[in-house]
Amino acid sequence: MVDRPGADIIQVDNVDKRFGEFLALGDTNLRVKEGEFICLIGPSGCGKSTLLRIIAGFELASDGTTIVAGKEVDGPGPDRGMVFQDYGLFPWLTVRDNIGFGPSARGLPKAQIKETVDRFVELVGLSRFADAFPHQLSGGMKQRVAIARVLANDARVVLMDEPFGALDAMTRERLQDELLDLWARTGLTIIFVTHAIEEAILLADRVVAMQPGPGRIVSDTRIALPRPRDVASPEFNDLRRQLSAELHG
């Protein structure tokens, strides 16, 4: 496990979220240190994506406070980037232009934009495809572009909503390894939503389990296994059984 001794970068305090009369998220509290890798797991309807969107600023909490990097969240910001399952790329832009969209929109000088784009194209291993369009890429490549686009916008916190859910098993495993390598090299703070207990244990410093009715956090488990992690080890499977019992209890 990478040692991440930093201060809290995310603070979620007593957050509720209502949609009309429906309480989607109730009395939710979460602390995330800078550089931590957190996985949120739980069944559909437990509030995982709602919590992620509140941290991103796409939804505002009905009650409670959410603070990122010392500032209360009142909307989206470039310090927080969101990666979705469906990639969200602009189909009319090349890989290079998709990654450079944020820096261009912020009015940065052309030389700085080019330097930023070149760096992140190389970082995610897409230099050979920099001038390709999204329809010319595999699913795994598209997701790498989506991640690079977030990083090029100077995000300190990356919020990932089941980003590998639509990928085949081999591509998913490869991107899991690439994401861990990228995280280790950059020191990013990552919150990653998944339905898969095995994926959560493989990736995370901490696995935060949620349950519906209303959506709430029911456990927060530190994963002390050394990386790279062996999914066949007794220790890994003990954790899998423990988390499965918590989710289905």
Number of domains in the chain: 2
Helices (H), 2-158: 48-56, 95-99, 101-105, 110-123, 139-152
pLDDT score for 49:
93
Q: Between 218 and 85, whose confidence is greater?
A: 218
Q: Are residues 176 and 243 in the same domain?
A: yes
Q: Are residues 141 and 175 in the same domain?
A: no
* Helix, coil or strand: residue 15: strand
pLDDT beyond 60 at 109: yes
Of 155, 170, 188, which one is at a domain's C-terminal end? 155
How is residue 222 written in tokens? 């530190």
| Rounded CA separation 58/61 (Å) | 10
Q: Are residues 163 and 141 in the same domain?
A: no
Q: Are residues 36 and 116 in the same domain?
A: no
Residue range 198-240, pLDDT digits in tens: 999 999 999 999 999 899 999 999 999 999 999 999 999 999 9
pLDDT score for 223:
96
pLDDT score for 2:
45
Q: Are residues 68 and 164 in the same domain?
A: yes
Q: Which helix (H) or strand (E) holds 177?
A: helix 169-186
3-state SS record for 120-161: HHHHCCCHHHCCCCHHHCCHHHHHHHHHHHHHHCCCCEEEEE
pLDDT score for 229:
94
What amino acid is encoded at 59 in this protein? E
pLDDT beyond 70 at 3: no
Residue 115 structural domain = 87-155
Q: Are residues 10 and 50 in the same domain?
A: yes
Angle (CA) 8 14 18, round 5°: 125
Of the candidates 2, 52, 56, the one whose C-alpha atom is nearest the C-alpha of residue 25 is 52
Q: Are residues 107 and 212 in the same domain?
A: no
Q: Are residues 160 and 239 in the same domain?
A: yes
Of 129, 155, 181, which one is at a domain's C-terminal end? 155
Do 137 and 95 contact (CB within 8 A), yes or no? Answer: yes
